[in-house]
Amino acid sequence: MKTITGKLLWTSCAAALLALAPACDGDENKADACGEPLYGGDATDEAWRTLVDAKGLATAGSDSVTLESPTAGQTYSSTDAPPTWRWTSPLASVVPGPGPGSVTPSHPARPREERRSVLAWLGNLVLPSAEAHLPPFTGDIYWVQVTVPGRQCPVEMLTSNLEWRLDAATWDTLRGSVDQDLTVQVTSAYLLQNKLTEGPFRLEAPRTIRVVGAR
């Protein structure tokens, strides 16, 4: 009898968790229609959602990145190895906490899962993987978007690094558009525990590049 009661309790808890999770996570699961980007450095999906929510607020100015490569009008051969794109950013010198060149939260940070504490407990009891979240991101972050002719969605990378070493699969996608213009846009921001504190900033004009066929 105890075994049956235990199984019923386990089943009931699992059902409750699955029923409650969509209602609680509805806002967090809102994603861009094109899906998530590639990730580099310490970038996380929650940091990406912060930038997606603020993408309409991005402005161009002195706080935008300086894109060192690719250069304006840069041409690649379709036989080239995957390139590395690099940039510099004023946000890279920002440090969290009090003091010059720092950012401080406007209110004390609260545990990020506070509003779901009961659900979190239940999840750990029944489905431990339900709490597999990464720590809140703090730092400068960069969202690189490459518009490719014929593709509805851009090729994207979210990274905390000041460079993007394109992987072979990404490079194959880009060089598939031979003799066509591709544009590169970089949006930057500073986040404190996934909260936007600086930015977002974007390039005043996207950088145009081209891949030419081997001759």
Calculate the alpha carbon distances from 27 to 21, 113, 116 in Å.
11, 14, 13
What global pTM score does this model have?
A: 0.71
Element (H, E) at 15: helix 2-25
Q: What is the pLDDT of residues 72-91, one digit of tens each?
A: 999 999 999 999 999 999 99
Higher pLDDT, 127 or 57: 57
Render 98-162 in DSSP notation, one character per residue.
SSTTEE--SS----TTGGGHHHHHHHHHH-GGGG-PPPPP-EEEEEEEEE-TT-SS-EEEEESSS
Q: Are 212 and 189 in contact (CB under 8 A)?
A: no
Residue 101 in this model has a pLDDT that exceeds 50: no
For the chain, which residues make up each domain, given as ranges?
34-107+134-212
| CB count in 10 Å sphere of residue 194 | 17
Q: Give the C-alpha separation, 100 to 62, whole Å.
A: 19
What's the pLDDT at 121?
A: 40
CATH architecture of 34-107+134-212: Sandwich (2.60)
